[in-house]
Structure 1
Amino acid sequence: MNDRMMQAVLHDHYGGPDVLYLGRVPRPEPAAGEVLVKVHAFSVNGGELAARAGRIRLVTGRRFPQRVGLDFTGEVAAPGSGVTRFAAGDRVWGVLGRRAGFGSAAEYVTMPAERVGRVPDGLDLVEAAALPVATTAVTALRDKAGLRPGERLLVRGAAGGVGNAAVQLGRAYGAEVTALARAANLAFVRGLGAHEAVDHRGVRPADLGRFDVVMDTVGTDLRAFRRLLNPGGRMVTIAFDLARPAASLGYLAASAVHGRGRVRFFSGAPTREHLDDLARHVVEGKLRPAVDTVFPLEEVAAAHRALEAGGVRGKYVVRVAA
């Protein structure tokens, strides 16, 4: 077998989960300042589903085959020149980010060393794959919203990959956390630390009360949830309405200059500092991985299908290395 090639999850056109297949691509080599990581596991994220289905083709384009996979855990296979922080065998994690796009659903990935963090000792690398995107919750609550102890926090999509981390971190930051989730997941989000858990299908936004911070992972009805902010309140979203993208993105842009309570929209691109902060919360017992199901690499289409069906508790993780 040619050791310059590797397995990777690919798709040759847009469509449902069944367009995904395992193919062979050249194995990357680390450039100066990069590390080559042997991937042990990755999680399935909502943005990948939209990209694979062609809903954001203005961003992903029409060149195929395309890749999937946003985050990863693994071991350093080789450091590039100039890298002294990491050595072969070090256990690491990271998120590819906006510029790199997708591609962690593979046997190897390269990353700039300054955007890779160490996985805490004792944390299984497959379970740990549920956590790298939790850096998005760190950025949203700490950096964008400036969440303070004693404030009321509302988390939309609280049972999902970023939402479950936001519930845990909100509690760690000293906030009073209200979690919106499906009825079947209310006990799950209470177990994460939510002070109150509410069935999102059984309540109108206006009946939820007022909040200092709203953390949104859904992207719909942003105007209605923005109205829940107290004076000086902040709203952060990591999603927009894919059914009405132009109107949704237009509203996000307009909120920055009109009306009370700007809605802050961003996509995650964590630095080492974010990953180190994540690790610290894990070591202190304030954040734990929530893994719904682990799939083998050859069943990545089933993992996509499961996330599309809804109802996930935490993350669907795909194991790459045995």
Structure 2
Amino acid sequence: MTMAAAGFRRYGGPEVLEVMRVAMPAAGAGQVLVKVEASSVNGGEIAQRRGKLRALARVSLPRYVGIDFAGEILALGPGVTEFSIGDRVWGTVDERGSVGAAAEAVAIDTGRVSRMPEGWSAADAVSVLAGAATAVVGLRDKARLRAGERLLVRGASGGVGSVAVQLGRMYGAHVTALASQASEQFVRGLGAAEVIDYRTSLDAIGTYDVVFDTRGTDLWRLRQHLAPRGRMVAVSFDVDRKVRSLGGIAASSIFGGRRIRFFLGHPTAALIGEVARLAEDGHLQPIVDEVYPLDRIGDAHARLEAGGVHGKVVLVVEETASGAVD
């Protein structure tokens, strides 16, 4: 039995993406098989599709895309007792692996899945999950953001930044958003007390206790805007200047106390469950920029690459995606 899955057979622009026919996975021991209803497009996938990450991680082609998913459990693998068939769940695949979530189904370890927030649609869920899991770890665990501190969120209107603004407000910080002028009202609506145009010179942006950066460029310059005991968390790096960008992160741990903390999120079921509770308690709102069917995966990637996205570009997965090829 086969299913539809989106991916690419060669590196390049959005046009290299296609919907292929692949074997339907089966739930192994400790896994559940999930019928995927929605996934989303993430910046790391675009860099990988362009071939920008080949020097850092060798991958085989074809490569399948999609990190987060939301849907319904179709089958339980041996030893699974905490879920039932029909449960509505959300989760993430391992972005370092070969499996993609932009597909009709995924077989996933129970340690990477949790029940969806009550009352949320699959599209709403994937607009928040990956960004929220990243922002919780970055702000709470890495930066140890405290109430009353000044927080700068760079890239505040995007999929991760928009959730970081909401969480910063929840944690009691004074949130400043670095975003486009066109996004000012949007990020203020999420909880930003101040908004700075991203074209403003970094020399004029002020001083902060915590900087949360989603862009990965000019990290060393941004570090100069930390207060004496400030902390900076970067969830991306400049893929066009990998050595310089990663070198600056490493050097920050040697020279002075204003260390740049860089990490890649690998959410656990406990963290995903915590994000669900935050959503159900009203601390997080879904932010869907635009929705595309799976067979328009190329258009979805092009939308994110064009910029100006508020929240997430979402893919909805029909039971049988049209346009699939063998």
Q: Tell me which interval the TM-score lies in, with the shorter structure as reference length.
A: over 0.9
Q: Distance in 1 between matches of 2:151 and 2:185?
A: 18
SS in 2 for 1:243: helix
Residue of structure 1 equivalent to 2:72:
75
Structure 2, unaligned runs of 5 or more: 320-326
Take 2:204 and 2:98, find their aligned partners in 1: how far apart are those partners?
39
For 1:6, the equivalent position in structure 2 comes to 3
SS at match of 1:117: strand
Structure 2 Cα separation of the partners of residues 241 and 16 of structure 1: 18
Matched, 1:150 2:145: no
Return the alpha-carbon distance in structure 1 between the equivalents of residues 80 and 230 of structure 2: 42
Structure 2 counterpart of 1:28, from 16, 25, 29: 25
CA–CA distance in structure 1, aligned partners of residues 172 and 259 of structure 2: 23
Picking from 242, 246, 254, the partner of 1:245 is 242
Please give the residue correspondences for 1:135-214 in structure 2 after superposition, counting only pairs within 5 Å.
Answer: 135-201=133-199, 203-214=200-211
Distance between the aligned counterparts of 1:123 and 1:62, measured in 2?
Answer: 34
1:234 deviation in Å?
0.6
Question: Secondary structure of 2:136's match?
Answer: helix
2:275 is paired with a residue whose SS is helix
Tell whether the 8 Å contact from 1:98 to 1:267 is kept in structure 2 after alignment: no
Cα distance change, pair 121–62 in 1 and its aligned pair in 2 (3 A): closer
2:122 maps to a residue whose letter is L
Which of these residues, 252, 275, 278, is aligned with residue 275 of structure 2? 278
Which of 205, 219, 223 is matched with 1:222 structurally? 219
In the alignment, which residue of structure 1 is the partner of 2:58?
61
Q: CA deviation at 1:213?
A: 0.5
Alpha-carbon distance in structure 2 between the residues aligned to 1:311 and 1:98: 25
Q: Secondary structure at the match of 2:290?
A: strand
Partner Cα separation in structure 1 for residue 244 and residue 253 of structure 2: 15
State whether residues 160 and 312 of structure 1, in contact with CA within 8 Å, keep that contact through their aligned partners in structure 2: yes
- Listed one character per residue, the Cα deviations across residues 165-190 of structure 1 (whole Å, up to 9, x for unaligned) are 00000000111000011111111000
Q: Distance in 2 between matches of 1:219 and 1:163?
A: 13
Contact 2:293 2:318 in 1 (8 A): no
Q: Is the 8 A contact 1:70 1:101 kept in 2?
A: no
Distance 1:145 1:277 in 2: 18
- CA separation in 2, counterparts of 1:171 and 1:10? 37
Residue 93 of structure 1 pairs with residue 98 of structure 2 = no
**8 Å contact from structure 2 (residues 67, 95) kept in 1:** no
- Show the counterpart of 1:112: 109
1:61-91: per-residue Cα shift (whole Å, max 9, x none)? 3522111111111111111111111111111
User: For 1:240 and 1:229, how far apart are their aligned partners in 2?
Assistant: 18
Paired-residue identity, %: 52
Aligned residues between the structures: 318
Instruction: Kindly indicate whether the alpha-carbon contact (under 8 Å) linking 1:97 and 1:270 is maintained by their aligned counterparts in 2.
Output: no
Shift of 1:17: 0.3
RMSD value over aligned CA atoms? 1.2
| Pairwise CA distance, 1:59 | 4.2
In structure 2, C-alpha distance between the alignment counterparts of 1:106 and 1:30, rounded to whole Å:
15
Provide, for residues 294-316 of structure 1, a one-character-per-residue CA deviation record: whole Å limited to 9, x for no partner.
Answer: 00111110010010110000000
In the alignment, the residues of structure 2 paired with residue 30 and residue 254 of structure 1 have an alpha-carbon distance, to the nearest angstrom, of 44
Most deviating of 250-259 and 42-51: 250-259
In the aligned structure 1, how far is the partner of 2:98 from the partner of 2:211?
Answer: 27
Letter in structure 1 aligned against 2:189: G
Q: Is the 8 A contact 2:207 2:227 kept in 1?
A: yes
TM-score, normalised with respect to structure 1: 0.96
Contact 1:160–1:313 (Cα < 8 Å) also in 2:
yes
Whether the 8 Å contact between 1:178 and 1:194 is mirrored in structure 2 is: yes
Residue pair 2:7, 2:63 contacting (<8 A) in 1 also? yes
Within the candidate set 237, 250, 254, 2:251 is matched to: 254
